[in-house]
Amino acid sequence: MIISLIAALSENRVIGKNNDLPWRLPDDMKYFMETTKEHYVIMGRKNYQSLPEKFQPLPNRTNIVITRLQAFNAPGCRVVHTLTHALEIARNANQKEVFVIGGAEIYALSLPLAHRLYLTEIKAEVDGDTYFPEVNLSEWKELSRKHHTTDTKHPFAFDFVVYEKI
């Protein structure tokens, strides 16, 4: 099974601020939804709670939430207490690819296990309080890159980049 991380991050690796995204990039949201559709997605509790209520759980995906809180309930989701258990659920369901969708702690735990990265690289330094872990790009091969310019709905230029572990 391919373990993939998908994230949008700024040049200074910011992925969040105050448990929300520090930007609005509709085409990145569309890319995320299309890329993860029909897959299992793994996220941390805080990431789950940051989703707008109408997207809890994310539609057309099997949502797995990792939390240390034993009594945590996320209707429509599988709730587990370890990354290992989350990956086991996807593996037992014969998933070809599973997506880790955040937050920072879950990304850090899963990065050493990852085979693929789907990164939206935002061409700006952004103020935030949550960061994507450092990636040693010498361990990764760039498979594709698609540039998106600024426009009336996108205040920052960005690239959709897919990396595969060497």
What pLDDT, in 10s, does the model give residues 126-164? 999 999 999 999 999 999 999 999 999 999 999 999 999
What pLDDT, in 10s, does the model give residues 63-84? 999 999 999 999 999 999 999 9
Q: SS3 of 27, please?
A: helix
Confidence of residue 105 (pLDDT cuts 50, 70, 90): very high
Tokens of 55: 């997207």
Cβ neighbours of residue 25 closer than 8 Å, sequence gap 6 or more: 8, 120, 122, 153, 154, 156, 158
CA angle 144, 122, 131 (to 5 degrees): 105
Tokens of 65: 């939430």
Residue 16: per-residue pLDDT: 96
Confidence of residue 2 (pLDDT cuts 50, 70, 90): very high
Question: Which domains, from first to last, does the chain contain?
Answer: 2-165 (3.40.430.10)
User: What's the chain's average pLDDT?
Assistant: 97
Residue 15: φ, ψ to 5°: -125, -10
